[in-house]
Structure 1
Amino acid sequence: KTHDIAALSQDRPLLIYVWATWCSICRFTTPSVDKLAKEGGNVVSIALRSGDDAKLARWVEKKQLSMPVINDKNGALSQQWQVSVTPTLIMVSKGEVV
């Protein structure tokens, strides 16, 4: 599925949450970000180097996450965003990082 960041952030700010299944800090932040998404928050998450699609899907199901999760298997997407640590939170409004 393709996510258009500019379109998703046009009407209200978008939180891009970069995390990983192996990240110890993410174990604490991910439930809070997912709760925000469940409450109607505008959230897209990127799972950095967290395994293939099937492995990540099992992990997401086990944790009962409802936020959209993009699998960044090899880290290329995160590298484009210049993400070097997890978790990373990026706010985008009207297509611009704010």
Structure 2
Amino acid sequence: MANRQVVWLRLDAPAKPAPGLPCNGCGVCCAAAPCPMSRLLLKHRAGPCPALEWADTRYRCGLLQAPRRHLSRLPAWAEPGFRRLARRYLAIGHGCDSLATTEEDP
């Protein structure tokens, strides 16, 4: 069997979209591995991203939703600019880029 990883997500989370389709907040990509931004800013190397948050029936990036909760040294005045840069850096709104495949528990 190929490399397999088990990640636990909420049962009511949306199913992972196919690559290229709009993000629906399934959380698979962030639960499987930290993104480059998490690695750089949160010094997180493996496992689910510590900034992955559940809100309004979907997973969201806490670095975008509440940056200062995760980056205590970020000044309040810099938060809007940080969000704009983070959205661009993570390509938010440009479609799913996770190649992970998923399956439900047996």
TM-score range (shorter-chain normalised) is: under 0.3
Normalising by structure 2, we get a TM-score of 0.27
| Higher normalized contact order (CA 8 Å, seq sep 6+, divided by chain length) | 1
Normalising by structure 1, we get a TM-score of 0.28
Which has the larger share of strand? 1
Larger Rg over CA atoms: 2
